Amino acid sequence: MKHKFIAKRYWKDQSTAMGQSDVLAKSFDDVINLSLGDPDLITHELIIDKAFADAKAGHTKYTDFRGDPELRQEIVKFYKEEYNMEVADEEVFVSTSACMGMYLALEAILDDGDEVIIQAPYFTPYPQQVELARGIPVELPTYEEEDFQISTERMESLITERTKALVINSPSNPTGNCLTMETMEKIAAIAEKYDLVVIADDIYTAFSYQNPFVPFASLPGMRERTIILNSFSKNFTMTGWRLGNIIAPDYIIKTIQQINENMVFTAPSVSQRAGIYALRHRKEIQPDMVEEYRKRMFYAAERINQIPKLSVLYPPKGAFYLFVNIKKTGLSSVEASDMILREAHVLTLPGNAFGACGEGYVRIACTCGVDVLKEAFDRIEKALS
């Protein structure tokens, strides 16, 4: 919006498809919203009850500046138990969401004009987060015919003397792709060759359907150059609690803490207590939730591949998104998403919202039950016929 009281860098409209989806969802009374990754499931009752009890007991104040020590201890324990990774307490920072964590990480490592290579299709906020930290985003396209794997040859061709970091996301939003060990090992070699920082956005680690999740930081030589971003939003259906954490070398964590003290001071204390119980009881909380999303993903993928002119990679690999190929419709991503909304009253997101290489796709979030998904695909199939 152009106005004398608005900073000129915001005069150009920078709203995202995700931000606009809330308005579009109100277009019709019977819209089925498959646009945002906000699960229909609520936070597990155990987490809510224990966090509420802690709030009643007085955990309503600022916590330690790096996060509740008890939560940091649980994060350290989690990495040891799940991945046999030794993480020091000084390498852990509790953030007010992983989105804030990404900004803090970028702000900590980037000098003005540094370039950040971003795995695309990407989580929509990445480029602007880089720009907010005065960096330059560089899109690294991946393609369906290559299983959305990162081509290290393509990656290497984008590296310049100003390249500082690479952002990876696996399992991926929006494609649902998981990077293979072979791909990650090649990325690690390139990162070492060019002395790059790798920011691993590890948001959907519980949703890896074919192979167990392997942290990029666990690869030989990668701990000292990797910043891990974690979130409780998706792995524990805690989107509204706004809780995440960062694992990085201690000197980066110290810098992040200094930046955060001038922004939100500490993450919400009650949310941090909830995070403790989420991690501590994950083995009783997560299995049913993950199985529910697996069921939805496989059902949705099968239905999509039965609809003429639509297709999606099968079987699903991870996360709870499907990146649906709509090229045979002859419509652009925006046109297809708009048509599906107008004709089927189903809200999706156009693929080009996730980068230029997302053109020709729409993203579907399987955040509704199978019965609702069935109705959505019945409507879409009718609209396309």
User: Do 223 and 291 belong to one domain?
Assistant: no
Are the CB atoms for 235 and 75 separated by under 8 Å? no
Which pair of structure tokens corresponds to residue 278? Answer: 């989420």
What dihedral angle (degrees, nearest 10) is formed by the CA atoms of 204, 210, 211, 213?
0
- DSSP label at residue 356: G
User: Do 138 and 53 belong to one domain?
Assistant: yes
Between strands 244-247 and 92-95, the pairing is: antiparallel
Name residue, tokens 């991926």: 172
Per-residue pLDDT of the chain (385 residues; tens, 9 = 90+): 788 888 888 888 766 554 554 556 667 889 999 999 898 999 999 999 999 999 999 999 999 999 999 999 999 999 999 999 999 999 999 999 999 999 999 999 999 999 999 999 999 999 999 999 999 999 999 999 999 999 999 999 999 999 999 999 999 999 999 999 999 999 999 999 999 999 999 999 999 999 999 999 999 999 999 999 999 999 999 999 999 999 999 999 999 999 999 999 999 999 999 999 999 999 999 999 999 999 999 999 999 999 999 999 999 999 999 999 999 999 999 999 999 999 999 999 999 999 999 999 999 999 999 999 999 999 999 999 8
Beta bridge partners of residue 118, listed in sequence order: 139, 167
Burial 288-304 (b: 16+ CB within 10 A, else e): ebbebbbebbbbbbebb
User: Do 131 and 39 belong to one domain?
Assistant: no
Range of the domain at 14: 8-43+285-384
Question: Does a structural domain hold residue 1?
Answer: no
- Give the separation between CA 13 and CA 1, rounded to whole angstroms: 6
User: Do 240 and 308 belong to one domain?
Assistant: no
Which pair of structure tokens corresponds to residue 379? Answer: 């409507």
User: Do 94 and 157 belong to one domain?
Assistant: yes
- Give the separation between CA 177 and CA 163, rounded to whole angstroms: 25
- Give the separation between CA 158 and CA 165, rounded to whole angstroms: 12
Q: What is the CATH number of the domain that holds 17?
A: 3.90.1150.10
Which pair of structure tokens corresponds to residue 177? Answer: 């792709």
